Structure formats: structure tokens, C-alpha cells
A and B are shown apart, each in its own frame.
Chain A
Amino acid sequence: MTTRAQRQPLSLRVFAIAFLVFWMLLAAFPFLWTLWGSFKVEGDFFSKADWANALFGILTTSETGGAFTGQGYSGAWIQEEFWRAALNTLLVVVFVVMVSLTLGTLGGYALSRSSERYAFWLLIIALIFRAMPPITLVSGYLPPFFQYNLWGHLPTAIIVLVAINQPFTLWMLHSFFKNIPKDLDESAMVDGCNRFQAFRHVIIPVMWPGVITTGLFSFLLAYNDFAVTAMLLSKENQTMVPKIASFLGTTQTKGNVMFAVSAVVSVTAPLFLMILFFQRQIVSGLTAGAVKG
């Protein structure tokens, strides 16, 4: 329902729409352009002669016979073994999400149910830890990891990512659990459950919306990480993002920028699908901390 207070003069409406069109262009165009260009040859993607070549693929047609080519993709995925990096990313992401949610739900629940001073301080310390740039921690990991031969393995990176993820997970789940009424688990405890049973039988069945939202953000953190995975994983265990960074070093000289372009599109695709299906959860997650206090 539109009230009078919301009604706007025409000029303002036109201005708002023009601004939105401008922003949509800014937000969406780079992705569409790169997606389109990833099916061209390098001469078209970076067309010095005429920018319209990138649209119609003049050089692509003369070099490969068709206006679209999958050369970049086959080069990246098969020749440069990007599938290995994709597999590593899958492993890292699945385990990071599972472990950090398990630890986070237990901790977040306890924090939401305790009014003691130390619970407050724990949250503040978590906030300080959240502010630490991950790369500063990495220089602390390297010497012990080399010494105990932990460097380069996927489980090491997974545990480190879980830990770096904890402050955020704790905060988010803490605010979700705060919205579940205390009476629910307290009445279960009156009926003779202990705290853990109350958590197990009463809280777990109703916590899933919050856990899924938090899981999405844990996923993003693990999937998007560059600092930790680039420094802690050996070459054969590399995940997708550091692999793309290493493409940049080696392929620019070989003239195979298209490998990197198609790898970039491949990395973006799952994120695209994720927003498509979980838009509501992402929006609610981003605002949970802010609006509810």
C-alpha cells in the first residue's frame, strides 16, 4: 500500500530510475562481458583494432571457424588441470562449512543463553579477532607449520579457515539464537532434560534457517579466500583462487590469458547460482547483525 508520504514527484522518480539503470550497468555488465568474451580468442577479448570484435568474434571466426570457441575452457580445465583445483576447493569448502557450523552452533547457543560478564567479553574478543587481517596471522603459522611438517596439506588449510571463520560464525549464530525464545529450551529443562538434551531435542529442530544462512557465509569465506590458501597450500593441493593467481604469473607470457578468463568465469558460476537460490537468506544474513542490534 502506498501512503501519501511515500508518493514522489515525477522528476525524482525519473532520477531514481536513471540512477538504477546506471548502477545495474555497473554491477552486471562486467560479468556479462567477461562471460561472453570467455568464448572468444585472446585477439577478440582484448581487441586493439576494434572493440566490436569482442562482440562478434571476427578473429575467433577466422582462427577457429566458429564465432564461439571452448579453447579457453579446455585449456584451463584439462591442459592446466583446473579440475584438480576445483576438486580441492570442493573438499575445503565442504569441510570448512561443516566444522565451523558444528563449533559455531554450540558456541553461539551458549553465548546467547548466558548473561554473564565473560560471555560479553568473549563476543568482544571475537570481534577483535574478526578485525585481524588473515594475512597477518599467516606469517605466524608458517614457522610452526614448516617445523612440524604441516604445511601444504588440505586439512591444515581447512582447520585454519575454520578458526578464522569462528568469530564471524559465533556472532551470527549468537544473534540468531537470541531470537529463539528462551522459554523453549527452559521448559524442556523443567521437564527433566539437561542442557545438552534440550539443545539436541528442542533447539536443533528449529535452528535450521539461521544455520543455513550462516553456512552460506562460511561457504563464501572459504570459497573466496586467497591469503590463507595461497600461502598454506602446496602447488598440487592448490584451490581455485590461488590457481587463478598462478595462471596470471605464467600464462601472460605464454599468451594464454584466455585460460585465466575461462577459469574466472568457472569460479563465478557457482556463486551466481548461489545468489539465485539463496538471495533471501543472504539478505537476511547481512542485515541480521545490523538491524537486530
Chain B
Amino acid sequence: MKHKTFFWFVFPSVLAMLVFIALPILSVIVQSLHVEHEQVIIEVENCGPFGCTQSTKIDTAATEALRAAQPLGRWAGLTTYFDRGHLALAEVSAAWASADGIGDFLGQLMNLPFYKAMAFTLTYTAIVTPLTIIFGFAIAVAVNSVARMVRGPLIFFTLLPMIVTPLVGSLILFWMIDARGIIGTALQWAAGDPDLSVKASTPLMWIMLMVYGVWHSAPFAFIVYYAGLQTVNQDTLESAMIDGASRWERIRYVVLPHLMPLTTFIALIQLMDNFRVFEPIVSFSAQAHATSLSWAIYNDLGGETRQLSSAAATSVLTIIGVSILLSPVLIRTWRDFARK
């Protein structure tokens, strides 16, 4: 394809990505280095019958003018990154100095919003990703072993949790695990504790969020593995059997190697998606027990006062996190390409 033709074909799509993905990333970086202007304070003298007093008041007009002149705010450098809402360097070093033992230090870290969000995001990603893969694989093997006739309906219902809007799917689960919902009541009965409530307990909330995560993404792993199982070479399986391989050996040495590249693919997609966990926290109203990086940004942006700089700084930190997660894949792709 000629360079010029290629350019015109990809131009609209590249333009859209440049303006609405690449530029916003730059804008977020710039914004995170600025903070909103402080209000302009002026001193006024109030003179009454009992003499004059000095007082300060906010000069609204001057504040507006300053904000209009420099909409980005004033230059703040990296201060937003290091404040209490983000990396909280001062608080972390204070905690490090005062803490007795690593457990106490981690406990103090969990009181800082950024580390709390980071802890949940990482735990969620690290637990949900492998569970999704294992669970999806198990469903795929099971579906593959039943009669062809029932596979259609099985696939239909399996797709549901994945296709349904995350906010809606998590709400449906949330209503069921509510203390008055059916699963919530069953849990109370099983634990023998009529006051048990998922909403009130941090560990239970974490577990439910992760259960939702696996429920939501296992179908994706299932579909990919199921398609992979259809293409396993039957002749190889048969010859392995003739050579005396047991069932387990056939799975271990024929099927699993065939599915390995698929596992990499699923792991990559799941890492990206789990790292942005967000909607279930909104639906479960779990913010008291678990927050994620995406939720922290959403929280800064919504609400009465939009804290743009704070949201921008968290966004940049999230983007750095995503890049670290992606870097092994990128390095591998680069090596593959350089070899060609």
C-alpha cells in the first residue's frame, strides 16, 4: 500500500485517537502540575464610630479575573503528587518512623486514600485474574464434554454475566447479598448470626467484590478457551493415547501447550480490565471498605467541588501503573518484531 493512500485511510481514526486519547493524556499531565488559584484576599479598613478596624475579605472579581486569565491555575510542580491525597511522602515517612513493626506500618498506610485505593486495586487484579482463568477453563472443559445439543443454551447463559452492563450486573448481585436479600439471608442463616451484613464488614465486602469480578469475567476466559479446545489436534491426542499416555498426561502434554498462547492473551486483557475496576464499587457503595484508583478519580471529579488537579494526579499515577503492567508484553512484542 502506498504511504499516501495508507495515510488517508487511517487519518480519521488516528485523528480521533490523537485528539481524544493522546491529547487528554498530555492535558492530564499538565493539569496535575498545576493547582487552582488561591482566592485573592484584600485588606479593607472598616471605620465606624468607635474607630477603624482592619479586616480581610475575598476579592471575588479579582479572583475571577485571575482564574479566567490562567485557566490552568498556578504552577505547583509535583506538590499535588506528594500531598496527603496521593503519595503522601510526609505521612509515609512519619508512619515509618513511628510504627512498631511492618504490620502497624501497613495499617497506617491503609488510612491514606491513595494507598488504600492502590491496595484494593492490586489485590483485586492479583486475585481475580488467575481465578478468572481457572474458572473459565473449568467451564470450557465441562461444556466441551457434554452433548452438542445443550451447548447452545449453556453458552447463552454463560455469556450473560459478561455482556450485561457492569454497573447493572453488580447491582443485581448487590441486591441479592443485601442483608434482606436472598443470599444475604442465606449467609446469616449459615453463619448463625442474624446481624451479619456484607455492607458492614470490610473483608466480606472485598470478597464480594472479587466474587463479582470473577463472575463477570469468567465467561470471557470460557469463550476463548472453548474456541481453543475446538482446535486441539485430534490426531495428536489419539497418537498420544496409542503411545500409552494417560488422560492426565494427554491434558498436560497436548491440550495445555495448545492453550498456552490463549492464556497469555486472556491474562493480558484481564490485567488491563481488572486494574480499572470501578463500577462494582459504585454499585456496592463500597467506598467505606474498598476504593480503587478509578473510583478515586471519579470521586474527585464528581461531587460539589471538582478537584481537577487531584484527579489529574491520580490519573497520571494510574497511567503509570497501567504502563508498568503492560511493559512485559510490550517488551516481548518489540523483541518479536525486531527478530523479524
Contact = CB atoms under 8 A, between A and B. Distances in A.
Interface in A100-125: 102-104, 106-107, 109-111, 113-114, 116, 119-120, 122, 124-125
Interface in A218-237: 220, 223-224, 226-227, 230-231
What is the interface of chain B mostly: helix, strand, loop, or mixed? helix
A248 B287 CA distance: 14
Interface in A46-105: 46-48, 51, 54, 102-104
Contacts of A20: 139, 142-143, 146, 154
B234 interface: yes
B323 to A, nearest CB: 8
Interface string B3-35: 101100110111011011111111110010000
B262 A290 contact: yes
A130 B298 CA distance: 19
Nearest to A50: B185
A288 B302 CA distance: 38
A289 B155 contact: no
Contacts of B227: 283, 286-287, 290-291
B272 interface: yes
B134 interface: no
Contacts of B298: 135, 227, 230-231
A246 B143 CA distance: 39
A19 B167 contact: no
B163 interface: yes
A147 B23 CA distance: 16
A244 interface: yes
* Residue among B5, B228, B238 having the largest count of chain A Cβ atoms under 10 Å: B5
Contacts of B181: 46
Given A114-B6, A226-B282, A166 B322 contact: no
Nearest to B263: A290
Nearest to A260: B171
A109 B282 contact: no
B256 interface: no
* Residue among A54, A127, A131 having the largest count of chain B Cβ atoms under 10 Å: A131
A159 interface: yes
B50 interface: no
Interface in B144-173: 145-146, 152, 154-161, 163-168, 171-173
Interface string B237-274: 11011000000001000000000011001100000100
Contacts of A254: none
A27 B21 contact: no
B171 A4 contact: no
A279 to B, nearest CB: 6
A46 B177 CA distance: 10
B311 interface: yes
A227 B10 contact: no
Interface residues of B, number: 106
Given A19-B142, A26-B215, A47-B180, A140 B23 contact: yes
Nearest to A140: B24
B220 interface: yes
A184 interface: no
B167 A31 contact: no
Contact of B275 (A23, A120, A133, A196): A133
B326 interface: yes
B335 interface: no
Contacts of B166: 224, 226
A110 B1 CA distance: 8
Interface stretch (B79-87, B199-207, B312-320): B312-320
Given A107-B9, A138-B297, A227-B298, A126 B17 contact: yes
A33 B176 CA distance: 9
A274 interface: yes
Nearest to B28: A140
Given A3-B234, A26-B215, A287-B227, A139 B308 contact: yes
A50 to B, nearest CB: 9
A215 interface: no
A169 B160 CA distance: 22
Contact of A287 (B20, B24, B224): B224
Contact of B311 (A102, A139, A226): A139
B44 to A, nearest CB: 32
Interface in B82-111: none
B12 A103 contact: yes
Interface of B: 1-3, 5-6, 9-10, 12-14, 16-17, 19-28, 31, 71-72, 138-139, 141-143, 145-146, 152, 154-161, 163-168, 171-173, 175-176, 178-182, 185-186, 215, 219-220, 223-224, 227-228, 231, 234, 237-238, 240-241, 250, 261-262, 265-266, 272, 275-276, 278-279, 282-283, 285, 293-294, 297-298, 300-302, 306, 308, 311-312, 315, 318-319, 322-323, 325-326, 330, 333, 337
Given A51-B185, A159-B16, 18 more contacts: A8-B145, A20-B142, A24-B157, A128-B323, A129-B17, A132-B25, A134-B276, A137-B20, A137-B25, A139-B300, A140-B312, A142-B306, A143-B27, A220-B163, A226-B279, A227-B298, A248-B283, A268-B172
Q: What are the 7 tightest A-B residue pairs by CB atom distance, in nearest-first order?
A: A140-B24, A163-B20, A110-B9, A107-B13, A133-B276, A46-B180, A287-B227
